[in-house]
Amino acid sequence: MSKDLKITPVSEWGYNFGTPFIMAGPCSVESEEQVKETARLLSKYPFDILRGGIWKPRTRPNSFEGIGSVGLKWLKEAGNEIGKPVATEVANVKHVYEALRMGIDILWIGARTTVNPFAVQEICDALQGVDIPVLVKNPINPDLELWIGAFERLNRSGITKLAAIHRGFSTHEKSKYRNIPRWNIPIELKRRFPELPIVCDPSHICGNRELLREVAQTALDIGFEGIHLESHINPDKALSDAKQQITPETFGEMISILHSRESLEHNPFAENQLEILRGKIDSLDNYLLELLSERMDVVREIADYKRENNLAIVQPSRWTEILESRLATGERKHLTQKFIKELFHAVHKESIHHQTEVMLNEGKSEIEQK
Ligand code: PEP
Ligand code: MN
């Protein structure tokens, strides 16, 4: 399968989006009045795409499952009134046909659909030959390949106006987020497909209003190209995702205090300064790798000794002692406990791998000698 995606830059989608580009609107279209009034109030502030859910994927059946097709017309009219393209979620072929028939400008595939390659493929088949931007939310489970698979399927249907929406990952762990951001996943997506724009969706990551700004700012600091925020004229009364929606006024305030970070291409001076610092990082990383390799040499000597003296590889008390002393040193050096634990677990795993290899080689040479 091709490692490349064909991507049409956002600047060539036929709109005049800002950088970052902003997608805003209610979680669900609830009534003609609600979507049009939200759009009108939002249009006082800079934003680019009016969103609204028509068919809602809800966890339990007795909650509001969306207004259905009738809402498409209201959404489209709301967009026309403020002169902005509109977007909605499609989860099956019927949704695609109805959204296209009503002139919805941009589609997105929701997190619960991205997990299912059959569903994604059906949507792609229905979109064959249609030139429309499609945004793909990350799957609810932290599986980057599944996310990439959806873009590849869309590409095979001829869709190249693509963007990713990072909405966080479902978890059973206790967390301050509704969906844990796991920033490393969208960052890895960016590393593999630098041309693919990423929109951060703080609303679904946070699940509350308090953390929205912080998450949106982090996304911009990392260099994501877009922000997605749910906004409702009366958030507390919203029929879905009430806790995370904000009024258009709050949206306006939030957008005004976000700092967008400049791309290096436009700032050669910063690039020079960065070059120097990056040089330092490169040599420190090489030094780190040198040290790790030296550590593994010592580990192999220890393995030789253990083998000769018939000792087990893992000595639990020694491992506990290492972890405790490294945690204490790490704390003095302002490194988080989580990082030190992860780092030394990885180092320990690699050490065990080297030691078992030494032990196994001994077995092998004895067998080979027979
Ligand atoms: C939404 O955008 O309203 C939505 C249902 O999001 P997600 O697919 O990220 O849960
Ligand atoms: Mn929502």
* C-alpha to C-alpha distance for 298 and 47, rounded to whole angstroms: 58
* C-alpha to C-alpha distance for 242 and 239, rounded to whole angstroms: 7
**Is residue 141 helix, strand or coil?**
coil
Task: With a cut of 50, list the residues of the chain below it in pLDDT.
Answer: 1-2, 369-370
**Is residue 169 helix, strand or coil?**
strand
What Rg value do the Cα atoms of the chain yield, rounded? Answer: 26
Pocket perturbation via mutation, ligand 1, pick of 49, 75, 89 by most ligand atoms within 8 A of CB: 89
Sequence-distant (≥ 6) Cβ neighbours of residue 263 within 8 angstroms: 223
Distance 242 CA to ligand 2 centre (A): 8
Q: Mind giving me the DSSP string for 108-127?
A: EE-HHHHT-HHHHHHHHHHH
Atom of ligand 1 lying closest to residue 28 CA: 3
Go through 200-225 and write b for each residue having 16 or more CB atoms within 10 A of its CB, e for each that does not. Answer: bbbbbbbbebebbbebbbebbeeebb
Q: What is the pLDDT of residue 62?
A: 85
Distance 191 CA to ligand 1 centre (A): 25
Atom of ligand 1 lying closest to residue 165 CA: 9
* C-alpha to C-alpha distance for 132 and 206, rounded to whole angstroms: 29
Burial, 320: exposed, middle or buried (Cβ in 10 Å; 0-12, 13-18, 19+)? exposed
Tokens found for residue 320: 């506990």
The CA-based dihedral angle spanning residues 226, 11, 85, 159, taken in that order and rounded to the nearest 10 degrees: -90
**Is residue 52 helix, strand or coil?**
coil
* C-alpha to C-alpha distance for 354 and 134, rounded to whole angstroms: 47
Q: What is the pLDDT of residue 287?
A: 87
Average confidence score pLDDT of the chain? 93
- For atom 3 of ligand 1, the residue with the nearest CA is 27
In this structure, are strands 162-166 and 226-230 parallel, antiparallel, or unpaired?
unpaired
The answer to whether 192 and 218 are in contact (CB under 8 A) is: no
* Through-space distance between the first and last CA atoms of the chain, rounded to whole angstroms: 46
Distance 244 CA to ligand 2 centre (A): 8
Tokens found for residue 359: 């032990």
Tokens found for residue 189: 């997506």
Atom of ligand 1 lying closest to residue 228 CA: 2
Distance 66 CA to ligand 2 centre (A): 11
Least distant ligand from the CA of 65? 1
Indicate the domain borders of the chain.
10-261, 268-369
Distance 99 CA to ligand 1 centre (A): 17
Q: Note the CATH architecture for domain 268-369.
A: Up-down Bundle (1.20)
**Is residue 28 helix, strand or coil?**
strand
* C-alpha to C-alpha distance for 347 and 344, rounded to whole angstroms: 5
- For atom 10 of ligand 1, the residue with the nearest CA is 111
Distance 198 CA to ligand 1 centre (A): 16
pLDDT tens digits for range 226-251: 999 999 999 999 999 999 999 999 99
- For atom 1 of ligand 1, the residue with the nearest CA is 27
Least distant ligand from the CA of 232? 2
Q: Which residues pair with 25 in a beta bridge?
A: 230
The answer to whether 120 and 153 are in contact (CB under 8 A) is: yes
Residue ranges of E strands in the chain: 21-25, 49-51, 86-89, 106-109, 134-137, 162-166, 198-200, 226-230
The answer to whether 63 and 57 are in contact (CB under 8 A) is: no
Is 10-261 a CATH 3.20.20.70 domain?
A: yes
> Which residue ranges have their beta carbon within 6 Å of ligand 1?
27, 53, 57, 110-112, 137, 167, 204
